[in-house]
Amino acid sequence: MENILIFTDGSSRGNPGPGGWGTVVVANQRVVELGGGEVHTTNNRMEMQAVISAIDFLIEYELLTLNLKCVVYTDSAYVINGITKWVAGWKARGWLTLQKEQVQNRDLWEKLSYLLEDMPGDEKIQWKLLKGHVGVPGNERCDEIATAFSSKKTIKLYDGLLSDYSIDIKSISHDAEKSSARSQSKKRSSQKAYSYISKIGGKVIVDKSWQECEKRVRGVSGVRFKKSLSKSDEEKIIKEYSE
């Protein structure tokens, strides 16, 4: 029999803000999608809740009695590092960090740690870090579920045969174009800004600092804003927003 596959993702609109989580469990030739949300939360908490809910599901339906390894795919380094590297030290120090500060999200770390301790056998879970939003089908579907719950939108969750599932869930290959675009976006976000351009109610405004732009756009629905890196980049964005 094949391994149990789990894909997870979490999302929050604001950090903190309304959030959601999604997970897809593939076991015993069946696929089950799970999801949920909270009114006030963080991205890290939703990433953790997705994993906790998946493990809870395996235990509740006794899928672990199949004596299979479980492979968890997540785009959260926070979750993987926490459970594989940090938790043991936190416990030994009474849930304090090396800086003697209280561990954030302790309630969820304790719950996840407890669930994993109850799993039969050794090394039952393999943790796999994915790049997020680069076209991996399982990750993209989990993001879709998480985003729907964070936005309080209706979404139909699948529960049925793997053979009838419309998503190529076993594929972990990524879209090269999406991966490249995401890398460029991350590179751009780390570069020094020349200006910030926003479009509110059809009006395009240029600010020289993020503080000025933030005051204008925060909490406004339908607003667009973007950082420019040079004079020519600014002109390009202004033209884009003016069309």
Catalytic residue set: 9-10, 47, 75, 133, 143
Query: What is the spatial distance between Cα 121 and Cα 128, in angstroms, rounded to a whole number?
Result: 19
CA–CA–CA angle 181, 25, 127 (5° rounding): 65
* 151 backbone dihedrals φ, ψ, rounded to 5°: -100, 0
β strands within the chain, DSSP E: 4-12, 17-27, 30-41, 70-74, 125-129, 159-161, 195-200, 203-207, 224-228
β strands within 13-57, DSSP E: 17-27, 30-41
Please give the distance of CA 205 from its chain centroid, rounded to a whole number.
32
The percent of the chain in helix, strand and coil, each rounded to the nearest 5, is 40, 25, 30
Q: What residues are paired with 11 via a beta bridge? A: 20
Query: What is the spatial distance between Cα 139 and Cα 146, in angstroms, rounded to a whole number?
Result: 10
CA–CA–CA angle 22, 27, 28 (5° rounding): 155
